[in-house]
Every structure is written in structure tokens, then in C-alpha cells.
Amino acid sequence: MSDAPQNDWDPGTYHRFRGYRLRPALDLLSRIGSLPKGDVIDLGCGAGDVAPDLHLRFCKTTRAKLIGVDKSPAMLQQARALALHDRLDAADIALWEPHDAPALIFSNASLHWSNDHRSLLPRLVSALAPGGTLAVQVPHQNNAPSHRLWRTLADELCPGRMSEVDLPSVLLPAQYIHLLEGLGEVNLWETEYFQKLPPSQDGHPVRRFTEATYARPILQAMSDRESERLIRAYDDLIPKAYPLSADGSALFPFRRLFFTVVRAGQGASAS
């Protein structure tokens, strides 16, 4: 997430599809087993959407603290209003390090914004308490038409501009297995969610969904005139991949990659 306020995340735009974005987080949460004693880290907490469930599951009946970490001032302001985190740290998740060994590092739809997973993930696992869990969910949608079209059109309409854009990306599933299997017990899976996006009065529903996340750095790298031209072109072409229903809604398959790593060793159980 960006340092500069003018490039900050827009919680309102992001939350337009809050239910669709929250469901994978809850699915990941359901796959976490018992934890040792230690804090619960909401890494890339955003506006705190998963905080109620993390707090209820792991903190309400224990002394575990819920600590949120995010880089976006706007998102942290939203999370602060919930008053569920014991502490909120403004930090780049790629550089963050815990004060004490946590029982759980939970990262929902955030690590794909950080580069160099080959060094980041082993460092996160090694920071856990023995028996602690790293739980991660990232979109695995970059090769789908919804995402490819943004890149293709940006290259065609604004030649050279994409060289300035740092897009989110993830490794292949097999690469994650090879990277993590020596660090603890690894569980990795994919789920494709068939999301029926509601009608929009301002453009195709898939464009409205993706412009708040994946396409955000592309649009921010352009002038207002360029971004408006790109959006018009995207709206014109995207119905070929995701046709609109009679009511204006669109079926949008969206793939997500999940994995958990339980660090080797045993700690006293807190849940």
C-alpha cells in the first residue's frame, strides 16, 4: 500500500464489494487449528474487516492481543473506529517485524502487494512462536480476462506507461510448497468463487470490482484523461468475457490461493 496520502486506498471504493472480499478471509480462518500462547497479528489489516472474527475466535477468551498492521492511513483510520485491535501499527508489511513471537500471523489479500516472497515468507514463519501459524490468502487471478485486459489496454493506449507500474503478483503453488515445506506443516489449496456482481449504474460490474484493487496502480500512474480513456475501453470490451445478465449483473469467477504453515515445535495452547 502506498506511503503518499494522494495515492492512498479508498475504503469506500474497496468496500463496495465487501461481502465478496470477506468470504475468503472467513474460509481461511476456518482452516486454522489450535494456537500456542502469543499475539494474533492481522497483517495487512486494511479497514479491519476480519478483526471481529479474529477477536472472537482467538482473543475474546484469552489474553492474546490482536495487533493490526497496515501502511494505509485511510484504512487504519477505519480500523481504529472499530476499537477491536489492541494496537494498530502503521508499517510496510514487507518490512514489519513483531516485538514478541506471535501465535498467529493472519494475512488476507495483502501479501501479493509485497515483492520477494522467497525471503518474506520464511522470515514470517521464523518469527512465529513454536507451533504458531502463518495463514495467507492471495488473489490468483492475474491470468484471467478481468486482469489481463487492464494490462493489454494500458499497453496499447498508453505505450511505455506500464513500465512505471508495480502490479501485485504471486508465485506458483508448487513454488510455495518448495519454499515452505522445510519450515513446518504446509497446507495449500485454491478456491474459485463464482461471484454474481450486482448491476452498476457507472460501468461494468467487473470493472468496478477490479478498479479498486488490481487496476488501482495502473490508473494512478496515468493522467485523468488517460485513465478515463482506459476505463471506457475496458467497459467496452469486458462484456465479451463476462456478459451481463438481463438485470445488469455479471457472473465473475475469481480464483484465490490459500496456504497455512504451522511452525515446527510445540507451544502451550491458547485456543
Model confidence pLDDT, tens digit, residues 7-56: 554 444 444 555 688 999 999 999 999 999 999 999 999 999 999 999 99
Residue 118 covered by a domain:
yes
> For 1-10, what is the mean pLDDT?
43
Residue-level pLDDT at 19: 65
Residue 35 covered by a domain:
yes
Residue 19 covered by a domain:
yes
Residue-level pLDDT at 5: 42
pLDDT reading at 6 higher than 60: no
* Cβ atoms of residues 259 and 180 within 8 Å: yes
The Cα-based distances of 152 to 45, 82, 233 in angstroms read 31, 40, 11
* Cβ atoms of residues 76 and 91 within 8 Å: no
> For 55-81, what is the mean pLDDT?
94
Give CA 254 to chain center in angstroms: 13
Residue 257 covered by a domain:
no
Residue 228 covered by a domain:
no
The model's pTM: 0.90
Residue-level pLDDT at 88: 97
Residue 271 covered by a domain:
no
The domain tally of the chain equals: 1
Residue 71 covered by a domain:
yes
pLDDT reading at 232 higher than 80: yes
Considering the chain, what percentage of its residues have pLDDT values greater than 90? 82
Residue 59 covered by a domain:
yes
CATH, residue 89: 3.40.50.150
Q: Which domain holds residue 94?
A: 14-139
Q: Cell 494505509 identifies what position?
A: 72
For the CA atoms of the chain, what is the radius of gyration?
19
**What are 246's three cell numbers?**
438481463
